[in-house]
Chain A
Amino acid sequence: MFEAVAFYLFAFLTIAMFYITVTTSQALYALTALAAGMIFISAFFFILGADFLGAVQIIVYTGAVMALYAFGMMFFDTTREVKEKQGNKFIVVGLATLAAVMVVAIFVAPIVSTNMTAFYPMVEGAGNTQEVGLVLFTKYLIPFEVAAVMLLVAMVAGIVLAGKKMDLSLTLMSAEQAKDIDDKDKKVLS
């Protein structure tokens, strides 16, 4: 009974929060509702017994939404309403409906045709965290590594874009030139 109550409570809360996120014109409401919705989703993981994923959902999404807040702070006055440019409403409604129907179809299709089987059944005696690790480092090793490489690329690109004098190469220039650049930097910094 507790599970049913918790499920309907958090289902209602999550949908309400995401509804606020997409309908409000106030940046601060949208971001706060998004953060709340993301945290409420973790409740479903806890109800299903996937404690590890639940905690990770809280940690990852609070951090991610926090970064969004930082962007919000940089780009608008968050205490004022944002005037949105209204495009063609029919296109927006049509595309949104189509996307919603497709998502439901994708998730319902395997259930309807009863083709859902677990490829990797639970290992006896392994905890929740170990289960995630086992699947991540056997079946999904390649996607996991590719994601890591992509993040590394993004990090290097971010450093290059944000850093100063990245078009000069210290290894290709002579010692005097490098020293000159060093001295100039020191003057700027001090």
Chain B
Amino acid sequence: MDNAYLIETVIKVVVILLIFSALAGIGTYFERKVLAFMQRRLGPMNVGPFGLLQVGADGIKLFTKEDIIPTNVVAPIFKIAPVITAATAFMAAAAIPFLPAFTVFGYEVHPIVADINIGILYVLGVMAVGLFGPLLGGMASANKFSLLSAARAAAVFISYEVVTGLSILAPIMMVGSLSLIDFNNYQIENGWIVWSQPVAFILFWIAAFAETGRTPFHLIANDHEIIDGFGTEYSGMRWGLFFIGEYANMFFISFVIPIIFLGGFGDGSVLGALALLGKMAFFFFFFLWTRAAWPDVRPDQLMWLCWKVLMPVAVINVVITGFVMMF
């Protein structure tokens, strides 16, 4: 293992951590603005031009607020739960190719931390571990609403893992590899996978909302039913870490969907890289759009959707793909 590789990896890790922590903060600004415009409001306006410095104000508030540990909680688990959510979100980023390879001062840089040959499995698996954060936070909080939220986290986790796995299986069968780079290269020659696997695309997209806990499936911290769910007892930066984890997950899944289904960064030109960022921005915007446009579903509707609609459709899709590939 030579030094150049080591230094390159460390720099990449630091850059990804910094960029996506900052993006998580800016993401909250975008979310407020988008929701505000869709609801005919102005959103944050007072702090700085167009309320842009609101992100900084929120950061100062979160960092300087007192970190309260309530009396009856299981303190070590309560303290570590937010860290799990934030840490696993960033760990998942290790196998995502954010941009095509480019050259800086004659040194070729691959903007992926580790090109392991099971990339997609690793990303989805580690992202799923992130749901331990809400689960543990809810169970350790000694609060009924938090416990309800933890129970919902377990239900969502066990159910939607199945849909994500089965929906991604059909594209994996076509590509014959689990590496996200191979997915990208396959689509250069054969066209975007979304044209041959539209069902898998829709299913994966729906499951992404459950994996990140965004609005139509926002049962884990449903404000109007269970206060803030797992976050009820949290304050200050521990609560902020849950937020960073959630937004980082949204950004990463918004990278993964275009790489798997919509051609990724294409042949690696500057245009392809910009196209990937554009697709990512669209999927991130879609998360916010859905939040403005759709009500939350009930937990039983969520389970019904998962086990009686999405899972059978995913299985049928896999079987049909298998037949088409065989004959």
Residues on A close to B: CB < 8 A? 2, 26, 28-29, 32, 35, 39, 51-52, 54-56, 58-59, 62-63, 66-67, 69-70, 72-73, 78-79, 127-129
Contacts and interface: CB of A to CB of B under 8 A. Distances in A.
B316 to A, nearest CB: 18
Nearest to A46: B116
A73 B147 contact: yes
Given A55-B122, A62-B132, 11 more contacts: A28-B77, A29-B76, A59-B128, A59-B165, A63-B157, A63-B158, A67-B154, A70-B151, A70-B158, A78-B140, A79-B140
Contact of A51 (B1, B117, B126, B128): B117
A73 B139 contact: yes
B129 A55 contact: no
Contacts of A56: 121
B125 A55 contact: yes
B161 interface: yes
Contact of A129 (B124, B128, B178): B178
Contact of A73 (B77, B129, B151): B151
B136 interface: yes
A64 to B, nearest CB: 10
A128 B119 CA distance: 12
A19 to B, nearest CB: 15
B86 interface: no
Contacts of B155: 70
Interface residues of B, number: 35
B220 to A, nearest CB: 13
A29 B161 contact: no
Interface of B is mostly: helix
Given A70-B154, A79-B142, A129-B178, A28 B129 contact: no
A2 B1 contact: yes
B125 A73 contact: no
B77 A32 contact: yes
A7 B322 CA distance: 40
Given A28-B140, A39-B129, A79-B72, A52 B150 contact: no
A35 B132 contact: yes
B175 to A, nearest CB: 12
Nearest to B178: A129
Contact of A58 (B129, B131, B135, B178): B129
Contacts of B139: 28, 69, 72-73, 78-79
Contacts of B73: 79
A59 B158 CA distance: 11
Nearest to A72: B139
B301 to A, nearest CB: 15
Nearest to B117: A127
B161 A51 contact: no
